[in-house]
Amino acid sequence: MKKIFRIFAVVVILSALAIPAAQAGNDERRGTAGASELLINPWARSTGWGGVNIANVRGLDAMFNNVAGLAFLNNIEVTYSNTQLYGGSSGLSSGASINTFGLGIRVFDAGVLGVYVMTMGFGDIDITTYGSPELGTNGTFSPSYMNINVAYSHSFTRSIHGGINLKVVTESTDNVDGTGFAIDAGIQYVTGEFDQLKFGIALKNWGPSMSFGGTGLSLQMVGVGGNNFTVETRQAEMELPTCLNIGLSYDFLFEKWDQRLTVAGAFTSNAFLRDNYTLGLEYSLLQRVQLRCGYIFQPGLWDDDAATANNGLCFGGSVDIPFSKKEGSNTGITIDYSYRTADPMKGTHAFGATLRF
């Protein structure tokens, strides 16, 4: 009975949090949210099929897609992922990149604690001013974004899993910075004779508005009497990019060579962007090699009024190398790679590695 009440409580809380996202997909609000980096998936494994695995994501990757999947982590995982956005230094002039570090530990029989830090850099950007607009004459500055995530996921029953993720978001330059706070919550439901059918729902980036401050927002002026005074610009608050993810997946299992073909679909309802629709496939051989591909569709994708470059085809793969041949042992290392097309910019490459103990 206690388990039933816990499950009911999680469902009620998630449904209540999802109410603000019910009117998502409003194109009139496009571009008005802050901290848009919260919508960038930093993990090489799940981006290989467009983050479509809302229902069946497992391990530390789940802290981005659907935190409920963190509950499937076996013992301890340590992971690192590097993303070269839009070609990295060969694409954007500044060389935008993302580095992500994660750690997950099973702390109870049914509970897992996870932490990950995502940092985003843009390289050195030339400073230009109204009085000196020439490049290379005023030095450079280096913006940096970072978000810190702490999550807990719990298996209520063999079929129902839920989790919550608390995050702190910081954005800064040398003289301006801002901080925000947000919550993610998610549920996964697994059913079928071989757990082949999965359903997931996750609310992401729900929290109060954030704003910026610092000396870079002030201006030194001279009054009529020759006195110097400082004028500070008022900054409007920005809402966080809340979204609601709904996903479904089904595993086709083949006994020969322990093969699996997973078909997955996902719908993302964005509060400050157009909605996304994603379809993906994952093929697994001997539980050691996985190949993935996906397609992300957003209304207006082929129009001049496209809202994002991260649409279209994506693909990737993973290779798992075990450390022990003992039955039941899960220790090993997994190497991941993914590629995402971006129009009109160059594609995005991601590389990752996960150690399991």
The string of DSSP codes covering 50-111 is TT--TTT--GGGHHHH-GGGGGG--SEEEEEEEEEGGGGGGTSTT--EEEEEEEEEE-SSSE
80: which strand partners? 101, 353
Query: What's residue 134's pLDDT?
Result: 76
Portion of the chain with pLDDT greater than 90, in percent: 54
**Cβ atoms of 355 and 77 closer than 8 Å:** yes
Q: Total domain count for the chain?
A: 1
Provide CB contacts within 8 A for 200, sequence distance 6+. 54, 55, 56, 57, 66, 68, 69, 186, 187, 188, 189, 245, 246, 247, 248
| Cβ atoms of 145 and 120 closer than 8 Å | yes
Residue of higher predicted confidence among 139 and 76: 76
Output DSSP code: residue 28.
Answer: G
- Its domain, for residue 227, covers 2-356
For the chain, give the mean pLDDT.
85
How many Å apart are CA 219 and CA 175, to the nearest integer?
Answer: 12
Residue 121 clears pLDDT 60, i.e. is over it: yes
| Global pTM value | 0.84
CB 223 within 8 Å of CB 230: no
Which of 258-262, 285-289, 321-325 shows the lowest mean pLDDT across its residues?
321-325
pLDDT band at 93 (very low <50, low <70, confident <90, very high): very low
Q: For residue 30, give the CATH number of its domain.
A: 2.40.160.40
How does residue 333 score in pLDDT terms, banded at 50, 70 and 90?
very high
